[in-house]
Amino acid sequence: MAFESLGEKLQSTFKFLKGKGKLSEKDIKAAMREVKLALLEADVNFMIVKKFIKTVSERALGEDVMKSLTPGQMVVKIVNEELTHLMGDKMEKLNFSSQPPTVIMLCGLQGAGKTTMAGKLGKYIQGKGKKPMFAACDIYRPAAIKQLEVVGGQLDIPVFSMGQEDPRKIAKAALSEASIKGFDVLIVDTAGRLHIDENLMEELEDVKGIIKPDETLLVIDAMTGQDAVNVAETFNNKLDVSGVILTKLDGDSRGGAALSVRAVTGKPIKFVGVGEKSSDLEEFHPDRMASRILGMGDVLSLIEKAQQTMDEEKMKKLESKMRKNEFDLEDFMEQIQQMKNMGPIGDLLKMIPGVNSKALKGVDLDDKEFTRLEAIIQSMTPEERRNPQVINASRRKRIAAGSGSTVNAVNKLLKQHAQTKKMMKQFNSGGMMKKMKKGGFNLPF
């Protein structure tokens, strides 16, 4: 995951600072030297690092920090604020036109993931209750139009195409079609090149002039590191982009692009791609990303992910059963399936404050465990799922054989279910659920 190495190094540096009751100027300078090296290794632009260190150092050496009872924590607070500022201060939403259709133009180099991102953006927009349409304006890359049609078919989003016609004509006709047929949003997938060239830029400028988009979003592959910043600068100078989408942030990119793009272009990162599924698109919150980097977690994103992926009716039904202490193995399997929809368990755990990659080392986070648990429960009879207490030794052997697992694995699942049920009973009897609901927080299980 992006920022993993940077996060570990920064957290290690600040752990040293937090352990000191009083900080000297020498301590802060030594810490800033480590922060500088960590940022440079993360592929953050050198000039940005230089300015960042200067600002943080000046604030850290100020009277408020040096005289504070917890100077180490004050320094972390300053770094958190400056990281947030570096990435844009606040989340920037998509601009929707008051007069539909809203036109979103996607641009970027070939291989950045524009067509895949068009699909993710389309699904995101559908989730907002709007009706999107795609325009296939990439006529150069082999099978680009077919790829967009496949993506559109999977999401039930229509694709406007005119084959190998001039992209300028396609864009104009697509806009007319979207207006006539009452689509709320037109997403225009434009052609990329393996490198920036004048023909590409001229074509994109012409298309933009014709469709006058409400959003011109630059799609950048986060894996390209420093080159991503150069690409962003060039596209912005030519097209005056309104925002950036970073793809492949779930890969082993060092995160430098996310920390540099805003500072170089002055334009916000609006979304990040965090996986291969059409739902793996997140709004970019600078404050939450800074918290993740510094090991402070991201509980708000975790809650939002739960709300987006979990079935509300099923949750109400499950809550009712929990209150009556009727949580059986069918409910347990449903809970497992809902958790699977939220994404890799390792990524979810990292959103919890204090849980970072270092803390998770040696912990088995194999997502296939979910599948194994489902197989065991599915090998049970309806009666066994509803009344686990009837599962005796011979039944355990049959279930193990039917699911391709072991009796130990069956025993482990039954123990997990019993512990979960016990925890839920304590949770209810202590009134904790009532208190949390009163505070506006609903559990995602």
Q: DSSP secondary-structure letter at 443?
A: -
Taking the CA atoms of residue 250, residue 251, residue 257 and residue 258 in that order, the dihedral angle to the nearest 10 degrees is 10
In 3D space, the residue among 224, 307, 228 whose CA is nearest the CA of residue 260 turns out to be 228
Cα(245)–Cα(222) distance, integer angstroms: 9
| Cα–Cα distance, 259 to 79 (Å, whole number) | 13
d(CA 432, CA 445): 14
Q: Give the range among 216-230, 273-287, 291-305 with minimum mean pLDDT.
A: 291-305
Give the containing element (helix H, strand E) for 371: helix 368-378
258 vs 26, residue with greater confidence: 26
Nearest to 188 by CA among 252, 118, 283, 127: 118
Which CATH code, of 1.20.120.140, 1.10.1060.10, 3.90.79.10, 3.20.20.70, is assigned to 4-86? 1.20.120.140
Comparison of pLDDT for 258 and 203, the residue scoring more: 203
Residue reference for tokens 């301590």? 27
Q: Which two tokens stand for residue 70?
A: 């917890």
Residue 283 in 3-state DSSP? strand
Please list, in sequence order, all residues whose beta carbon lies within 8 angstroms of the beta carbon of residue 184, skipping any fewer than 6 positions away: 96, 100, 101, 102, 125, 130, 131, 132
The secondary structure of residue 265, as a DSSP letter, is: H
Taking residues 301-314, report their average pLDDT.
56
Q: Give the Cα separation of 172 and 3 in Å (integer).
A: 41
pLDDT confidence bin for 441, thresholds 50/70/90: very low
Supply the mean pLDDT for the chain.
Answer: 81
Q: Do 102-296 and 310-438 share a fold?
A: no
What's the CA angle centered on 4, arms 122 and 264, to 5 degrees? 65
Full-prediction pTM beyond 0.85? Answer: no
Verify cis geometry, omega within 30 degrees of 0, for the bond prior to 213: no
Comparing 152 with 60, the larger pLDDT belongs to 152
The winner for highest mean pLDDT among 205-214, 252-261, 358-367 is 205-214
Which string of DSSP letters, residue by residue, matches 163-210?
TTS-HHHHHHHHHHHHHHTT-SEEEEEE---SS--HHHHHHHHHHHHH
DSSP classification of residue 50: H
Please give the backbone phi and psi of residue 434, each rounded to the nearest 5 degrees, phi first: -60, -40
d(CA 103, CA 185): 6
Alpha helix locations (H) across 99-166?
114-127, 144-155
**Residues 166 and 84 sit within 8 Å (Cβ to Cβ):** no
Please state, in angstroms and as integers, the Cα–Cα distance from residue 95 to each residue in 10, 191, 215, 381, following that order: 35, 23, 7, 52
> Exposure pattern of 396-426 as b/e (b: 16+ CB <10 Å)?
bebbbeebebeeebbeebbeebeebbeebee
Instruction: Measure the CA dihedral 220/282/13/66, to 10°.
Output: 110
Q: Could you state, in order of their start, the residue ranges of all structural domains in the chain? A: 4-86, 102-296, 310-438
310-438: CATH superfamily: Signal recognition particle, SRP54 subunit, M-domain (1.10.260.30)
359-418: per-residue pLDDT in tens?
Answer: 445 444 556 777 888 899 999 998 998 888 899 999 999 999 999 999 999 998 888 888
Please tell me the number of Cα atoms within 13 Å of 149 on its side-chain side. 8
Contact 38, 3 (CB under 8 A): no
Instruction: Assign 1 a pLDDT band (cuts: 50, 70, 90).
Output: low
Does the structure show a pLDDT above 50 at 219? Answer: yes
- The residue among 166, 155, 209, 174 whose CA lies nearest residue 191 is 166
- For position 299, what pLDDT does the model report? 47
Dihedral sign, CA of 310, 316, 322, 323? Answer: positive
CA distance 93 to 425: 41
What pLDDT, on the 0 to 100 scale, is given for residue 215?
96
Write out the E strands in 53-195: 102-107, 132-137, 159-160, 185-190
Of 21-25, 193-197, 356-360, 407-411, the least confident: 356-360
**Cα-flanking dihedrals φ and ψ of residue 247, to 5°?**
-100, 165
Does the pLDDT value for residue 317 go beyond 70?
no
Q: Which CATH code, of 3.40.50.1100, 3.50.50.60, 1.20.1290.10, 3.40.50.300, is assigned to 102-296?
A: 3.40.50.300
- Phi, psi angle pair for 219, to nearest 5°: -95, 120
Measured between alpha carbons, how far apart are the two ends of the chain, in Å? 26
Q: Cα–Cα distance between 6 and 254 in angstroms, integer?
A: 7
Q: What's the residue count for the chain? A: 445
Whether residue 445 is predicted with pLDDT greater than 50 in this model: the reply is no
